[in-house]
Structure 1
């Protein structure tokens, strides 16, 4: 590469694809040839607890895929393993950067990071252009008539559906402009080993979801069926287009589309109320006197509570990085209500284990279960894990797969009586809510 040639940099983050990529499209339509960049961010990676974290392997595999696709177009990918500011210091010393393009990220750390990089670029007179890509509607695009954010899902969904049209669902035709990529030989790469990680052997879900949509409403609640799309990890890292996904569902199955809208609702809420990462949206629920028994939490994590649906879900999570959505609700409710363990403990554990972990959705869902969030399940509603098992796994197929010792002396007795757990939860919750 002629490092004196002015170039635009496109910075990949949560958008690991060439197809229908908003920021990449605008970069390619710009004045300068485009060099693509990905940074393995040490500010994130150094905090991970597991050196075989499957998400790092997933990202690494898709970075290799991007490199291959860019090389087929005669270009390559700058890959850095560093803290973002240090990585950008190196890039600005190495290349004649005229402009920088990227897609917006809405989580608190990401906004802080992008603010710092934007300031660094501005000091050198380099424009930093950001675009919407991981959402159909971002922060203030679906709001009440008075401009305030919705905090209840149903009216948000109605306004979302009223506003949607072909403009918001149209793909960006990046493929037509790949000739604007800077032509270069393959650039240096990094390996998982260099970053201190080992390759995970957890299999990753496919990107195909079309075959799920039509039967989604009928099948989605039964954990023994392949009734959900499992594209959460692909939406999280942008290996599929949210516009493609929404367009596939908009004229077909509204239940599946509703799940995409829930995702945007929680992302909007988290953008407006970032304190919900650590604090209850409803302040009274920060007064709950959690028991936080570490032995019981460990039993929950390992899937040894004596409640087979809860245990099956936790074992599935630990083995695969996935847990069926219906079972997630049951397992989370059991931890928060029956065991009276702070929802933040469970949220942290899911953040560590879930392949499809997104902070906004995970935090919003845990606060929903705990009764402390915006659009919530009432605190006095407690999932009955025994009734849920009878309703959604009557033939015990899911249980037989993940808890094969169920029904034998090897399976632990219930960690707490179901009725006693519910009664205790209601007593503690009422006491917290009743305080002035």
Structure 2
């Protein structure tokens, strides 16, 4: 008798704990018998927006189930034939007292309620989850829309370097047709050839994306070229980083912009800053820069001889025939100088009718007179300029650079200028110019 009393007390105690758990669980729980609600916990009251459990008890369960969800619900519980059997988790929509729809996930269990078979339903509110999913979808849609409208190319590659996505601008910049199925290919196997700044093939393992995937390093403003399938060469400035730096399995994202026009403009500006606009020869700035580099060369192999060339009587051509013809004469002289010298020799225009030549390497001293004579003959050939037949001659001064040269570039030019002056015919010398001039390692031709 005492044992039965103890068992009953234990059962009651267990039941009390179960009721307490059900009453305080955050998930909604209800029990319906033959379709009629016979029990709801406080969470179910709150979920359906009722004032109390009394507002729900005795009503049909279908009152609070969305019409579209009723047939699947009935089908699920019809399969529960043994006490304790449960349906798999299923999503459905409930209808609150105020008429609003609530997305939920439910599990139904066939149980016994006050001696009769009934269905106990555990209901989990999916409202917050659905809101988060909707927000994520909107964010993804927004991101996709923004990326698709960018003028900058964007591509994403997985850890193996295989392309996961590429935006329209990326395809356009790389010259990849919209119909070309490139997803899944390695980024270095795309239908475009990568080259470095010097025009040499760029191996895939030297691409910044390979470095980012291997080390996690962020790479910015990496410049390389792409030879497209249509034959065009475009230059790109590229940034690479991991999508999620905290994840060892993160994909990499690369953004790149077409800088072809900018690069060409910059090169043009650099060219204009270092070359004479009329003749295309090196200007005074570039000449001094190259001469400075040569003077700093301990081996003395870059430049060993400097020629200062001045046209005789050029002022008379300008004064009598005009500057347009004078400009034509200067252009032709510049072309003749370039043809008469080696590619490694630098020919420049200091200004007016003054030219400078930096001879590279080690020309034999005995060869200099022959070189100077060849230049004289070349420049003395008649020039036809706008119907005028003209003949010009040139005075040439030479200064040689010693193995331990201590002169500045300006001093070298000055000494070459003095040597050129001494080479000028007497009739072309300006009054008083050159008196008391002296220099070392300097001679006229």
TM over 0.5: no
Q: Which TM-score band applies after superposition, normalised by the shorter structure?
A: under 0.3
Higher Cα Rg: structure 1 or 2? 2
| Alignment TM-score, normalising by the size of structure 1 | 0.19
The structure richer in helix per residue is 1
Kindly indicate whether structure 1 or structure 2 has the higher relative contact order, using CA contacts under 8 Å at least 6 residues apart: 1
More strand by share: 2
Q: Normalising by structure 2, report the TM-score.
A: 0.19
